[in-house]
Amino acid sequence: MKITEILVAEHRIFLSVFDQIERALSGVTTLTEARKLARLVEGMLESHAGTETELAYLALDHVLQDKDQLDRLHEEHHEIDTSLHLVHLAGDVARARLMLQTALGASRRHFAFEEQSVFPLIESALQSETLAGLAATWMQRFEAQPAG
């Protein structure tokens, strides 16, 4: 297994959760509910972004020919983080729902960009053994996490 395969699998899981959150959003009637959903998304994405940054992107950083792609990745992460932060600052439920929907949409676009542009670049730049080693590191970290 390669690290890129793990990251794509995480994307699929997240997209499924995003679908559920979007269905639930219309029934969200309080800021507390919206903020809880935002915290759920933040927790999922924080771990995933850490994996990407620490394992995949750092390994790729030295071989990226087009710095614009790396800049775009960082900008997209910032956009997602900002939208999620604005959920917590929202003064009304409608604004909080809108900011959460914005974050989910930005996350979907970001995942698509990674899968179409970044992950193929990672796979072409790194040897199979390196990709497998990064996946093994991810597995070790995952297994070391406390349950629940």
pLDDT tens across 93-124, in order?
999 999 999 999 999 999 999 899 888 888 88
pLDDT at 65 over 80: no
pLDDT at 78 over 60: yes
Q: What's the mean pLDDT in 48-71?
A: 67
pLDDT at 59 over 90: no
Confidence label for 32 from pLDDT (cuts 50, 70 and 90): very high
In this structure, are residues 103 and 112 in contact, taking their beta carbons and an 8 Å threshold?
Answer: no
Confidence label for 51 from pLDDT (cuts 50, 70 and 90): confident
pLDDT at 3 over 60: yes
Predicted TM-score (pTM) of the model is 0.87
Most confident residue range from 20-34, 43-57, 65-79: 20-34
Question: CA-CA distance, 12 to 140, in Å (whole number)?
Answer: 21
